[in-house]
Structure 1
Amino acid sequence: MGKLNDHATDAQRQIIRYRSLVQVTAALARHVRTDDLLRAMHVQVQALFDTPITLLARRTAQGGWHCLTLESNNLSEQFIGLRPDGLLERVLEGRLRLENNLPVYLERERLGIVRVHHRSDLPYTLSWMGVPLQAGVVTGVLSVQSYALNAFTSEDLEFLELLGVHLSIALENAALHERVEREAHTDPLTGLWNRRRFTERSEAALLDVRRGEPYTLAVMDLQGFKAVNDEFGHDAGDRVLVQMGGLLDRLTLEGVHVFRLGGDEFAALLPCPESAALLSLRALLDDLNAQAWSVPTPRLNIGLAPAYPQDSVSDWVRRADARMYGAKRQRQSLIE
């Protein structure tokens, strides 16, 4: 009778855990952005495992790891370089899944480990589980860890593997959603944001202006660009646009948003007064003239307009356009 009760208790416990897994999967599916998904995962995993440490590590393009760790209610982020033989690498290779006495394992295998937090007051991991995350372009490891010896069972590993499958799918879906969203807002030739994104960002900038933050709009075009296409061909014209896009992209290091509006027209939203925007754009023109071009050095016409609280996007663009056409008429790049 006692064994029957034990089996009934085990079955009931497994049912509860499977229900928790379903709830966790549903919670993860609600997140379409990778960052939100990763943070939600750390919280939701507590529904399945009584563990103080959750680690999610994703492979970087350089071969290292981007790690998010939840430990003692502290979420930390760290990048770990490429290691030829570490715990995470062994999980991907199928050589490691569950160790209930990690110090002994490390000594036996002669392995060193990298601690993914910087708090000396926290104890060391003694029990460790890790499963691979592999779906599409997503490669990573999901790990749960404990400060206690013999903290995990083979059943725990089974549930972690199930969670890893669902998390892999959720990460792949999030990556696909972000790619589609990025393509919808990106100019395919230059990689800059497109006109649709320009309208969205301009509206957001005007909200900031109404809260007292300064913004300046720069609209730009390449004078005589049609002649470049006519004389040198459209491939040469495309190379000019790509090179111009690369120059403008440098402004993003200063917190500037840059866009290709279409054809040879570009725009930049600078989070600063007009006087500071002038300095940035003069530096841009210096860079343009210092470049080696496959065609005669193009002339960039720029019109600047500070934003006012009562502006609409069309009002703001109209003023910047007027300044740009004024620069064209005077055969100047920029009217100050």
Structure 2
Amino acid sequence: MATVPPDLARQIARYRSLVQVAAVVARSVRTDELVRTVHRQARELFTAPVTLLATRGPDGSWTTRTLEGDTSVDEYIAPRHDGLLERVLDGRLRLENDLSAYLRREGLHVFRLNAASGRPITRSWMGVPLRPGSAPHAVLSVQSDHAGAFTPEDLEFLELLGLHVSIALENAALHERVEHEARTDPLTGLPNRRAFTAQVAATLDAAAQPPAATLVVMDVQDFKRINDTHGHQVGDEVLHGLGEALMVCAAPPAHAFRLGGDEFAVLLPGDADAGQQWVHAFLHDLRLRPWSIPDAPYVNAGLAEVRAGDTLSDWVRRADHRMYAAKRQRAHLLE
């Protein structure tokens, strides 16, 4: 039996590793999960203590994740005219085995990411562009504090890995967009009933004795009359306005949702007293907003503080009961 030359055997083993790495990367369906996977799997192909995945924003800024040893650090780079990452995107830089000499020769000023790590400066640097069709441009880089650490073969394998990562980034972006659309109300932009059910369930499952949280359910008094009097387009404008108001007033850690029709819900941290204060502030905000109807819509609200042992149905039922009580009282006052 013929003996496989050592160099060929090494290359075959490395290509097998690449195939395995590509399969692992392809299974990552969320961007954050994919970023972690890329960092872990890069170690299977390269002897390099540092990997970097940088994603470029529309304004030219960068969001980076650096892995040095077992330490992962996320950082932000403000927009700049010229740098290593920009040069990778426009094709001027791929591999430098004496980075200090390259920077002096090019008159390029860079700064150390994860400066608090205490690691030596980078001496060998490789980077390849990632250009998935439906995701932001990005750069994948591996780095070493030893000069002459990388070979043209290393660059070839990084480029092959980059192709797989580009496809995985595009698939992850598509998956996240589809998931977002499935959990988002298209009229108001708020999370929908499906997202509401998941969030309430997560709150109830957080502990056997849930921390203080208050559910507020709301609807618009006489919403049908608004549609009948002013038309459905104006009715949609009213619902859209309520959604905008909730996005402002129910910022994290609160969560706001459109349940359907003219029904909305807000999940608030804190007890019912804090919930009452929030409702009063929200209703005050509504009165100050411009509306396409003569007066601000009147919103009925019912509050229920979570109780130990509550199910989703229990909690929602109590809040609904109080909202309908407020609705009936308002209808009686208008008679």
Deviation at 1:178? 1.0
Q: Distance in 1 between matches of 2:58 and 2:316?
A: 39
* Deviation of the 1:120 alpha carbon: 6.0
Q: Shift of the alpha carbon at 1:269?
A: 1.2
- 1:59-118 per-residue CA deviation (whole Å, 9 max, x = no partner) reads 123321010001132110001011111111111101111111111111111111132112
Q: Does 1:72 align with 2:69?
A: yes
Q: 2:284 aligns with which of 283, 286, 292?
A: 286
Q: Which amino acid aligns with 1:79?
A: Y
Kindly state the Cα deviation for residue 275 of structure 1 after the two structures are TM-superposed. Answer: 1.1
Q: Deviations over 1:194-251 (max 9, x none)?
A: 1112122222222236333122111000112222222222222212111111111124
Give me the whole-angstrom Cα distance separating, in 1, the residues matched to 2:173 and 2:248.
26
Aligned residues: 328
The question of whether the paired residues in 2 share the 8 Å contact of 1:192 and 1:259 is answered with: yes
Contact conserved, 1:218 with 1:267, CA < 8 A, in 2?
A: yes
Quick one: distance in 1 between partners of 2:8 and 2:219? Answer: 70
Matched, 1:219 2:217: yes
Which residue is 1:140 aligned to? 138
TM-score (norm 1): 0.93
Is the CA contact (8 Å cut-off) linking 1:209 and 1:215 kept in structure 2? no
With 202-211 and 100-109 compared, the bigger mean Cα shift is at: 202-211
Matches of 2:256 and 2:33 in 1, distance apart? 26
SS of 2:131 mapped into structure 1:
strand
Could you tell me which residue of structure 2 aligns to residue 56 of structure 1? 53
**Match in the other structure for 2:97:** 100
Q: Secondary structure at the match of 2:189?
A: coil
Cα offset, 1:187, TM superposition:
0.6
- Which residue matches 1:87? 84
Distance 1:248 1:266 in 2: 9
Question: CA RMSD, aligned part only?
Answer: 1.7
| Cα deviation code 1:115-138 (max 9, x no counterpart) | 211226211111111000011122
Within 5 Å, give how 1:227-266 maps onto structure 2.
227-266=225-264
Which runs of no fewer than 5 residues in structure 2 stay unpaired?
Answer: none
Are 1:133 and 1:141, in contact at CA under 8 Å, matched by a contact in 2? yes
SS of structure 1 residue aligned to 2:67: strand
Q: Distance in 2 between matches of 1:318 and 1:73?
A: 48
CA distance in 2, matches of 1:239, 1:161: 50
Equivalent-residue separation in structure 2 for 1:164 and 1:57 (angstroms): 12
**1:325 alignment partner AA:** Y
Give the secondary structure class of the aligned counterpart of 1:135.
Answer: coil
Q: CA deviation at 1:253?
A: 2.5
* Residue 170 (structure 1) shift: 0.8
Do 2:250 and 2:266's aligned partners in 1 also have CA atoms closer than 8 Å? Answer: no
Q: Does 1:329 align with 2:328?
A: yes
Amino-acid identity (%): 55
Counterpart contact for 2:210–2:306, Cα < 8 Å:
no
**1:46 corresponds to which residue?**
43
Aligned to 1:129: 126
Residue 142 of structure 1: SS of its match in structure 2?
strand
Please report how far the alpha carbon of residue 310 of structure 1 lies from its aligned counterpart in structure 2 after TM superposition: 2.8
Partner of 2:176: 178
Pairing partner for 1:168 from 163, 166, 169: 166
Partner Cα separation in structure 2 for residue 234 and residue 316 of structure 1 = 32
> Structure 1 residues 256 and 120 mapped into 2: Cα distance closer, same or farther (>3 Å)?
closer
Counterpart CA distance in 1 for 2:20 and 2:319 is: 52
Q: Distance in 2 between matches of 1:304 and 1:330?
A: 15
Distance 1:115 1:238 in 2: 51
CA contact (8 A) 1:21 1:163 kept: yes
Do residues 190 (structure 1) and 208 (structure 2) align?
A: no
Distance 1:277 1:8 in 2: 74
My pick for the range that moved more, 163-172 or 315-324, is 315-324
Which runs of no fewer than 5 residues in structure 1 stay unpaired?
A: none
- Does residue 1:199 correspond to 2:162, yes or no? no
1:328 & 1:212 partners in 2: Cα distance? 29
| Alpha-carbon distance in 1 for matches of 2:134, 2:309 | 46
In 2, the alpha carbon distance for the partners of 1:86 and 1:73 equals 26
Q: Which residue of 2 aligns with 1:13?
A: 10
- 1:302 is matched with which residue? 301
